[in-house]
C-alpha cells in the first residue's frame, strides 16, 4: 500500500475550524477509514481533544453508533436522521478494516496557535449548528446577568466563560456555570459585535471604530486596531489571521498577535456581515447589495453576486454552497467556487439575520415575524412558523431543535423537521441576540439588559 504523509498542524487547524468531514475527506483525498486512523493518531499524541472531534468520530475506544452513508459524519449517539445533511437512515452497519491504512503524520510541535477557537454562529462556516444536546424541555432559568444596556451581541463560550458585549458600552466575561462576572472592560460606546476567542485573547468590534483585543482570562487590554467608523461585524479566525468587516466598507485581514494589516478589500458599502470561511475562501455581504468571495490568503476577489437589497447578515457555508439572505426578502444559494446562483427563496419580507443550516434545511426569520425552513438542495419551503414580532436574531440549531428569538420578547424552540413549538421562554425585551447552545443549556441576550442561560 502506498505511503502518504500529512501535515498534522494543518489538519488540526482544519478540524478545529469546523471544516466539515466531507470537506476534509475531499481536501486530503483520504477515505473515511484513513481519516479515522489519522484522528486516532492525533488523539494518541494529545494534539487534539475528543471535544474537538465530535463531528468526526465517536469517543476514543468506542465504535460510532451512527455513520451517515451520504456525508460520512459519525456520532456516538444513534439517529434515524443525519444531524449534518438531513439524510434519513434506517440502519447503519460499520465495516471494520482488515488492516490499518499506511499513512504518516508529519510531526510538528503544537503551539499556542493550536489553542481552541470560539466564534459567532458556532463555527467559521457560520452555520449556527451546535454539537450539543441543548434543552429538550425547559426546566429552569439557570441564571441571568444584568447589564445597563440592551444586549444584541451574541454570547461566545470559551475557557468556561461566556463573552459578550452590551449597549452600556462594556465587554463582559461571565462564568458559564454560575453567571458570576469574571471581568468587564469599558469602551466608548455600545458593543453589538460578537466575540472571537483565540490564542487566549477575546476580539471584539466596538462602535467607536476599534477592533479590541483583550486577555480572555483577565480582561486586560492588549492592542486595538482603529478604522473610520463602527465595527459591528464579528471576527473570523483562520490560522494566524483575524478577518472582520467595517462600516468604512473594508474587509480586513490582520495578524492575530499584533494587529498588523496583512491585506484589506474595499467593497462598495458598509460591512456589518460577519465573514464566513471554508475551503480557503472567505464570503461576506455588504450594504452595497453585493455578496463577495475572496481568497482568504491574499484578499483577491474570486466572485461577486448582486442581490436585490443590502446584505447585513452573515453567509452560511456547507458542502460547496454559500447561503445568504438580503433585505429584499430572499435567501440565495450560490456555488461557493463560482458564485453562480443555484436557487432562491422569497420570504416576502426583509431579512436582516443570518441563515442557519442543518438537517437538510436552511432556517431563516424575517421582519414579518415568520420563521421558515426551506430545503437545502432545492429551496422549496418545508414549513413556516409565526412569531409575534419581527425577527432580527439569527437562529441556532442543536439536536433536532431550532432556537430563535423575536422582538415579541420570546425565545422559541421548534422541531427542525415540522416547525412544531416545543417550548418558549419570555423575557422583558426584544431578543436580537442569537442563541448559543452549550451542553444542555441555551445562552442568549435580551434588550431588557440581561444575559440569560436556561436549562
Contact 359, 374 (CB under 8 A): no
Residue 384 CB neighbour total at 10 angstroms? 14
Alpha helices in 169-249 (DSSP H): none
From residue 18, alpha-carbon distances to 105, 130, 131 in Å are 20, 10, 11
Q: Which three cell numbers stand for residue 46?
A: 494529545
H helix runs in 69-220, sequence order: none
d(CA 421, CA 367): 20
pLDDT given at position 58: 40
**Confidence at residue 276, expressed as pLDDT on a 0 to 100 scale:** 97
The pLDDT score that the predictor gives to residue 34 is: 74
B/e letters for 280-315, b = 16+ CB within 10 Å, e = fewer, are: ebbbbbbbbbbbbbbebeebeebbebebeebbbbbb
In Å, how far are 45, 54, 205, 431 from 311, measured between CA atoms?
Answer: 44, 32, 19, 20
pLDDT of residue 107: 44
> Which DSSP helix (H) or strand (E) runs through 8?
helix 8-16
Give the model's pLDDT for residue 15.
76
Q: pLDDT 10s per residue in the chain (455 long)?
A: 456 677 777 788 777 766 667 677 777 877 766 777 777 777 777 777 765 665 554 433 445 566 676 666 666 556 666 766 666 655 433 333 344 444 454 444 434 445 678 999 999 999 999 988 999 999 999 999 999 999 999 999 999 999 999 999 999 999 999 999 999 999 999 999 999 999 999 999 999 999 999 999 999 999 999 999 999 999 999 989 999 999 999 999 999 999 999 999 999 999 999 999 999 999 999 999 999 999 999 999 999 999 999 999 999 999 999 999 999 999 999 999 999 999 999 999 999 999 999 999 999 999 999 999 999 999 999 999 999 999 999 999 999 999 999 999 999 999 999 999 999 999 999 999 999 999 999 999 999 999 999 99
**297 near 259, Cβ under 8 Å?**
no
Q: Which long-range contacts (CB under 8 A, 24 or more apart) does 261-265 make?
A: 262/299, 263/298, 263/299, 264/299, 265/292, 265/294, 265/299, 265/301
The predicted pLDDT at position 55 comes to 53
| Domains of the chain, first to last | 4-114 (no CATH), 120-454 (2.130.10.10)
Backbone phi, psi, residue 248, to 5°:
-80, 0
| pLDDT confidence of residue 195 | 95
- Which three cell numbers mark 386? 409565526
Provide the pLDDT for residue 170: 97
Radius of gyration for the chain, computed over Cα atoms and rounded to the nearest angstrom = 21
Question: Is the CA virtual torsion 144, 145, 151, 156 positive or negative?
Answer: negative
Helix (H, G, I), strand (E, B) or coil at 138: coil
Cα–Cα distance measured from residue 80 to residue 2, given in angstroms and rounded to the nearest whole number: 37
Amino acid at each position: 500500500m502506498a505511503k502518504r504523509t500529512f501535515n498534522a498542524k494543518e489538519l488540526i487547524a482544519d478540524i478545529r475550524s469546523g471544516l466539515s468531514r466531507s470537506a476534509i475527506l475531499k481536501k486530503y483525498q483520504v477515505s473515511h477509514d484513513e481519516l479515522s486512523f489519522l484522528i486516532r493518531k492525533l488523539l494518541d499524541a494529545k494534539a487534539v481533544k475528543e471535544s474537538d472531534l465530535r463531528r468526526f468520530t465517536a469517543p476514543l475506544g468506542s465504535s460510532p453508533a451512527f455513520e451517515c452513508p451520504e456525508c460520512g459524519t459519525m456520532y456516538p449517539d444513534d439517529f434515524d436522521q443525519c444531524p449534518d445533511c438531513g439524510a434519513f437512515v434506517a440502519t447503519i452497519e460499520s465495516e471494520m478494516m482488515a488492516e490499518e491504512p499506511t499513512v504518516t503524520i508529519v510531526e510538528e510541535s503544537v503551539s499556542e496557535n493550536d489553542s481552541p477557537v470560539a466564534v459567532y454562529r458556532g463555527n467559521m462556516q457560520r452555520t449556527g449548528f451546535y454539537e450539543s444536546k441543548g434543552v429538550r424541555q425547559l426546566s429552569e432559568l439557570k441564571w441571568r446577568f444584568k447589564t445597563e444596556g440592551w444586549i444584541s451581541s451574541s454570547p461566545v463560550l470559551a475557557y468556561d466563560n461566556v463573552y459578550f458585549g452590551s449597549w452600556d458600552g462594556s465587554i463582559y466575561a461571565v462564568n458559564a456555570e454560575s453567571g458570576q462576572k469574571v471581568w468587564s472592560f469599558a469602551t466608548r460606546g455600545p458593543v453589538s459585535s460578537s466575540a472571537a476567542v483565540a490564542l487566549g485573547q477575546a476580539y471584539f468590534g466596538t462602535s467607536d471604530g476599534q477592533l479590541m483585543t483583550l486577555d480572555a482570562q483577565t480582561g486586560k487590554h492588549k492592542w486595538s486596531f482603529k478604522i473610520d467608523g463602527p465595527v459591528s461585524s464579528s471576527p473570523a479566525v483562520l490560522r494566524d489571521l483575524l478577518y472582520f468587516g467595517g462600516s468604512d466598507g473594508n474587509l480586513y485581514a490582520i495578524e492575530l498577535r499584533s494587529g498588523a494589516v496583512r491585506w484589506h478589500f474595499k467593497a462598495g458599502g458598509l460591512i456589518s456581515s460577519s465573514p464566513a470561511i471554508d475551503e480557503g475562501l472567505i464570503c461576506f455581504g455588504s450594504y452595497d447589495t453585493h455578496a463577495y468571495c475572496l481568497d482568504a490568503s491574499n484578499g483577491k476577489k474570486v466572485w461577486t453576486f448582486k442581490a436585490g437589497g443590502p446584505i447585513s447578515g452573515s453567509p452560511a457555508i456547507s458542502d460547496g454552497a454559500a447561503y445568504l439572505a438580503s433585505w429584499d426578502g430572499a435567501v440565495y444559494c450560490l456555488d461557493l467556487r463560482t458564485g453562480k446562483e443555484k436557487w432562491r427563496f422569497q420570504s416576502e419580507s426583509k431579512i436582516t439575520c443570518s441563515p442557519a443550516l442543518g438537517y437538510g434545511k436552511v432556517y431563516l426569520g424575517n421582519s414579518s415575524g415568520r420563521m421558515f425552513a426551506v430545503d437545502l438542495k432545492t429551496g422549496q419551503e418545508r414549513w413556516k412558523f409565526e412569531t409575534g414580532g419581527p425577527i432580527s436574531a439569527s437562529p441556532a440549531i442543536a439536536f433536532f431543535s431550532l432556537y430563535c428569538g423575536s422582538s415579541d420578547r420570546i425565545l422559541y424552540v421548534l422541531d427542525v423537521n415540522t416547525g412544531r413549538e416545543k417550548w418558549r421562554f419570555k423575557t422583558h425585551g426584544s431578543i436580537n441576540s442569537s442563541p448559543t447552545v452549550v451542553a444542555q443549556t441555551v445562552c442568549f441576550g435580551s434588550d431588557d439588559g440581561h444575559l440569560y442561560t436556561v436549562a
